[in-house]
Amino acid sequence: MVDEIENVKIGSLTPESRNVNLLVKVLDVGEPKDIETRYGTKHLAEATIADDSASMLMTLWEDQVEQVQEGDVLEIENAYISLVRGSMRLNLGRYGKMRKVDLDIDVSTEPNVSDQLHDRPRRDRYSQGKTRGKGYGKWV
């Protein structure tokens, strides 16, 4: 018996959301850019994604930038939310997966949850100073 993945809706995500699975449509992909990080120069782009509850920005890293296009429907597993200047972004970590699926889904562009500003969530004393590593998710 195969376990069915339970998807969450974009509209229910919070700055603390971790290990989330979603089914989303890519509304647009922004211009790629290179940024300097503590791990060196990284290639990234931001994509606007949506489901029937809301839309938001997703950060695409490295080879993900070239593989995602406007109109793609993506099944995303084990993603997490990060805050960029107080704005929520969906990210794939080291253990995240993303794959294109041949479906058409209804989407809502409002609200865009990335437009809402949040205070950085407080870390507990066990996670301070730890990093997520250099993984950027896998295509399956």
| Strands 20-29 and 40-50, bridge-based pairing | antiparallel
DSSP track, 78-118: EEEEEEETTEEEEEEEEEEEEEEES--------SBGGGSB-
What pLDDT is recorded for position 109?
93
What local confidence, expressed as pLDDT, does residue 45 receive?
95
Residue 17 is part of which domain span? 10-139
CATH number for position 86: 2.40.50.140
Beta carbons within 8 Å of 92's beta carbon, 6+ residues apart: 61, 64, 76, 78, 79, 98, 136, 137, 138
Taking phi over 0 as left and psi of -120 to 50 as alpha, with beta for the rest, 10 belongs to alpha
Is residue 131 in a domain?
yes
Which residues of the chain are under the pLDDT cut of 70? 1-5, 120-140
On whether residue 69 sits in a domain, the answer given is yes
The domain total for the chain is: 1
Structural domain includes residue 3: no
Residue at 134 is within a domain: yes
The tokens for 111 are: 């609200």
In a domain, 86, yes or no: yes
Q: Is residue 1 part of a domain?
A: no
Position 48 scores a pLDDT of 98
Strand partners, 91: 80
pLDDT of residue 118: 87
Q: What is the pLDDT of residues 10-37, one digit of tens each?
A: 999 999 999 999 999 999 999 999 989 8
Residue 119 lies in a domain: yes
Q: What is the pLDDT of residue 93?
A: 78
Query: How many residues are present in the chain?
Result: 140
